[in-house]
C-alpha cells in the first residue's frame, strides 16, 4: 500500500521548537543586552518628551477654543 503524499512531505519536516527554545537561542549576550536596554530607555524617554510636548500643544489649543467659545457666548448675550 503506498504512503499518502501528505505523510511523505511531513516526514521531512523538523520538529517544531518551542518559543522557550527560540528565546534561549536568540537572547543577545549580556553586554549587548545592556546596550539595548540603554537605547530602549533613551527611545522611551524621547517618546515621553514628544508626547508631553504634544499634550502641552493640545492643552493650549483647548484653552484657545474655550476662549473662543466664551467670546461667542458673551457676544450673543450682549447682542440680545
pTM score = 0.52
Q: Environment class of residue 63 by beta-carbon count within 10 Å: exposed (0-12), middle (13-18) or buried (19+)?
A: exposed
Q: How far apart are CA 39 and CA 29, in angstroms?
A: 15
* Per-domain boundaries in the chain: 29-79
Express each pLDDT in 4-45 by its tens digit: 555 555 555 555 656 665 666 666 677 788 888 888 899 999
Amino acid at each position: 500500500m503506498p504512503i499518502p503524499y501528505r505523510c511523505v512531505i511531513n516526514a521531512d519536516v523538523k520538529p517544531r521548537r518551542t518559543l522557550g527554545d527560540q528565546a534561549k537561542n536568540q537572547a543577545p549576550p549580556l553586554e549587548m543586552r545592556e546596550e539595548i536596554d540603554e537605547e530602549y530607555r533613551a527611545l522611551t524617554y524621547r517618546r515621553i518628551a514628544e508626547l508631553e510636548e504634544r499634550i502641552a500643544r493640545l492643552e493650549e489649543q483647548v484653552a484657545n477654543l474655550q476662549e473662543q467659545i466664551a467670546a461667542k457666548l458673551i457676544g450673543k448675550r450682549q447682542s440680545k
